[in-house]
Structure 1
């Protein structure tokens, strides 16, 4: 698959290594020149573009037209939405995926056309609300404070 990774630092580095192992064609776009140099030195089979991934010109220069996936990892939710919408509408990228800091943006971004939206807090909340967690909570009995002090 042809995949673009836009923004991010540790997440971008981790995904780049993982996706390369699976033989995907990658382009990484990042606005931090030093970080681009780090990624280019670490991953010799990856095209690394230094520039704002929220810029139409940079996305065009990166050659993402018709890519299978773009993954937006910027630290700003609004930037990730912009990257995904531009990639889909202007460059015909098939699937868009982004991370969000604000878990309330998960459903909003999906309604606005982002294919997959990931929020750590949202995932944790979903996990806690699963029936299996409720069963675990009922099974765990906490001793009253007076009993704890007797040991």
Structure 2
């Protein structure tokens, strides 16, 4: 699937990492150069500097051949414009948009080109399921084409993994930690990274179940 994500904040960058892990063709557009530079380590994600409200920039980023556009900026007005341009100008089959202010939710419908309106509090995996049209009975994004599953788990003060390094944790076979999100910033972790309460982990696995992931960290 070819996917364009507008907005490289916490939400947009997390979505990009998860979808790229499933061998999707992912492009991330962001007008803040500093923020984009901080994501240079995302080797599987194409990074484009510019304003996603600009039709010429969107065309350059590949909107004409996209299967899905996700408008994930922190401004509702921008997300609406991006959605409208994606649907009306470029004919994108599926458009999802983040709703930052609940009072604006009524605007996010097909009149503005929005197929899926996602409140800001929606969990990451649920958002991706809605945007891509995927469903899963255990609230996981199953990437069937890649033969992997992407799961998330959060570290709390009660988690057995809190205070331990990733290298000290016995992961299920065929499982890797793709990203650790701390203070809103995603990081590709090494084995020496010590997990702290508040950390959110994205894991990619060929074999593990949700129960096995929970047992390893919680």
| Count of matched residue positions in the alignment of Structure 1 and Structure 2 | 122
Structure 2 residue aligned with 1:38: 38
Is 1:73 aligned with 2:72? yes
Distance 2:98 2:24 in 1: 20
Greater share of strand residues, 1 or 2?
Answer: 2
Which is bigger in relative contact order (C-alpha 8 A, separation at least 6)?
1
Structure 2 residue aligned with 1:116: 116
- Structure label with greater radius of gyration: 1
Structure 1 residue aligned with 2:85: 86
Structure 1 residue aligned with 2:19: 19
Long gaps (5+) in structure 2: 124-218
For the aligned residues, what is the CA RMSD?
1.8
Once the two structures are superposed, what CA deviation does each residue of 1:33-64 show, in whole Å capped at 9, x if it has no partner?
Answer: 1121222x221122110000111111011122
Shift in alpha-carbon separation, 1:121–1:23, aligned structure 2, 3 A:
closer
Structure 1 residue aligned with 2:146: none
Long gaps (5+) in structure 1: 124-151
Is 1:107 aligned with 2:132? no
Superposition deviation, residue 21 in structure 1: 1.3
Distance 1:101 1:49 in 2: 23
Q: TM-score, normalised by structure 2?
A: 0.52
Distance 2:103 2:110 in 1: 12
- Which is further off, 101-110 or 78-87? 101-110
Greater share of helix residues, 1 or 2?
Answer: 1
Shift in alpha-carbon separation, 1:15–1:117, aligned structure 2, 3 A:
same
CA contact (8 A) 1:70 1:97 kept: yes
Q: TM-score, normalised by structure 1?
A: 0.74
